[in-house]
Amino acid sequence: MQISKTTNTKAKKAHPRDRVVDIINTFESLLVAFILALVFMQFVMQAFRIPTGSMADTLRGAHFSMRCPQCGYRYDCGFDPRRYGLPEDVIPGGYIRSAQSRCPSCGHYSQNIRPMQVSSGDRILVLKCIYQFFKPKRWDVVVFKNPIDPSINYIKRLIGRPGDTIEIIDGDIYINGEIARKPLKVQDELWMPVYENDYQPIRPYEPTFNEHKWRLPFRNAKDSAWQLNKNNPTQFELDSQGQSKNYLVYDTSYGNDFRTAYAYNDVRDYKHMPYCSDLMMRFYVRPASTAGRVGIELGKYESRYTAWIDFTGEMVIESIGADETKVLASKSIKAAAVNKAVLVKFTNVDHQLIFRFGREELVYDLGRSPQAAGSIKLDIEPCVQILGSGELTLSHIAIFRDIHYTATRFFGAVEQARAVEGNPLTLGEDEFFVLGDNSPNSQDGRWWEEPGKGNNGSTYRKGIVPRDYLVGKALFVYWPSGFELPWPKSLKLFLSRNSRANPLFRIMNAIVSLKCIPNIARMQFIYGGSGAPSHLN
């Protein structure tokens, strides 16, 4: 024990020069760590903040986090600083009057515009230099230098690669004359709500729903026997005899229509957007017996497609013509479980019909040419209806639409975009073409009016991104707009009202406005062309 004590005492007596060496070593370690961090940021991974809403709803710029006061549906509405007399990419602290918006589910136009905080844009991690080792894939979300101003980074979805001839026809992407189908995970990100039956208004009598009073947007077809559940107005019940088909029709004169409206954008544009006819409907069915069937019918142009399941164990996809009904695909499965809710989903997207019942799936490929789904009729509104027979209950009914790439800046505008029908774009070597997910509100390759700027006075073609301007691939949303600490509302309003007059209040207001609690539910990977392929792709 004594020896140990003596040894420890001597060990504690360090030479002054040893302390200097320790300090130098520590400094060297910090310097190495700093250099490694810089190298990592420069060549491997870097964090970026989304400034605008051109990629909404996949990635959000500065926005208002809304909740419909009628039905409770949550959605985001973009914040445009120019409307508030602020410089671009400025996020004000405290409360400001929110933009007017419309609920993407029940169609309610907010009349009472109340003060709200502006949520900052999503913060993402970008994998840099990946494209020096791997070829960029279609549908990747990429960060690149803006060809017109290379000092600014942009983020869009990569659509065209070298050698591609790109043509946007009725909102879909065609590459070398064939439709480009999205990978499954990308498609899941791009569905936009049309109507969700679980969200119903608390004051339906107010004329604020698409300029009329709200009414359940489903109606019985002639001689149909569908009824609302007496105890749950979000569920439908059917009790019919035999195999008679009972149709429940989605009525756009009361519900939202199928135009390419974005809750994120200005409400004034809604009525003037084109129809989107790539749709998906889903619900859960609970059959009381195996004597019956349930299905979904989707209309596109002049064609109608029906997918149905006979509870005894048969799945069928049909096309319905004026004179005949043609079976396109069918298969036998196990009989449906009685009194058990099962997911039913029917999708018509990118010229594919995909029918799902529980874990079973049935797919039919319509073809890849522009006319594969019939003659394109842009003025024909799509239709959706449910068919059923027997005794069953439906719940969690919802309708969604696909992304739709628009061909003009404004409705009725003469100016036409680049790479649209009749004006295709062919990419040369090391040329890429990008589009924003928020198609009506994205300054992308369709609209760039100046040649790209290169080195030593060289230029690039209008509308393209050169290979050497690709920065990297967007990988992960690590910090979506979060939640603020539960400060008293009276304190927040007081600081917001007095922040302009008092610098101290301005600082306190900024601190109180910090949304420092992460929204874990919105942390997610950003899927692109590397995701699982879609059916028949």
Q: What is the pTM of this model?
A: 0.87
The mean predicted confidence, pLDDT, of the chain is: 87
**pLDDT at 31 (0 to 100):** 63
- Residue 480 contacts residue 122 (beta carbons within 8 Å): yes
Element (H, E) at 294: strand 293-300
Q: At 208, list the tokens.
A: 């604020």
pLDDT for 195 beyond 60? yes
Residues 6+ apart with CB under 8 A from 105: 68, 71, 73, 193, 195, 196, 199, 256
**pLDDT at 395 (0 to 100):** 97
User: What is the DSSP annotation of 250-279?
Assistant: E-TTTS--SB---TTS-GGGGGGSPB---E
- Give the whole-angstrom CA distance, residue 444 versus residue 466: 14
Nearest Cα residue to 98 out of 73, 66, 120: 66
Per-residue three-class SS string for 213-247: CCCCCEEECCCCCCEEECCEEEEEEEECCCCCCEE
Q: At 150, list the tokens.
A: 């290379």
**pLDDT at 338 (0 to 100):** 95
Q: At 91, list the tokens.
A: 């996020």
Residue 46 burial (10 A CB sphere; 0-12, 13-18, 19+): middle
Return the CATH fold of 123-189+407-477: Umud Fragment, subunit A (2.10.109)
Nearest Cα residue to 235 out of 341, 367, 124, 102: 341
Q: If you ran DSSP here, which 8-state letter would residue 142 be given?
A: E
pLDDT for 384 beyond 90? yes
- Residue 190 contacts residue 439 (beta carbons within 8 Å): no
**pLDDT at 3 (0 to 100):** 43
- Give the whole-angstrom CA distance, residue 446 versus residue 121: 24
Give residue 45's pLDDT band: very low, low, confident or very high (50, 70, 90): confident
Phi, psi of 508 (to 5 degrees): -65, -35
- Give the whole-angstrom CA distance, residue 481 versus residue 503: 26
Domain ranges of the chain: 2-42, 123-189+407-477, 218-251+277-401
CB atoms within 10 A of CB 385: 21
Give residue 204's pLDDT band: very low, low, confident or very high (50, 70, 90): very high
- Give the whole-angstrom CA distance, residue 449 versus residue 418: 10
| Radius of gyration in angstroms for the set of CA atoms belonging to the chain, rounded to a whole number | 28
pLDDT in tens, 261-281: 999 998 877 888 999 999 999
- Residue 59 contacts residue 141 (beta carbons within 8 Å): yes
**pLDDT at 46 (0 to 100):** 85
pLDDT for 173 beyond 80? yes
Residues paired with residue 37 on neighbouring β-strands, in sequence order: none
Q: Evaluate whether 123-189+407-477 and 218-251+277-401 have a shared fold.
A: no
Return the CATH fold of 218-251+277-401: Jelly Rolls (2.60.120)
pLDDT for 514 beyond 70? no
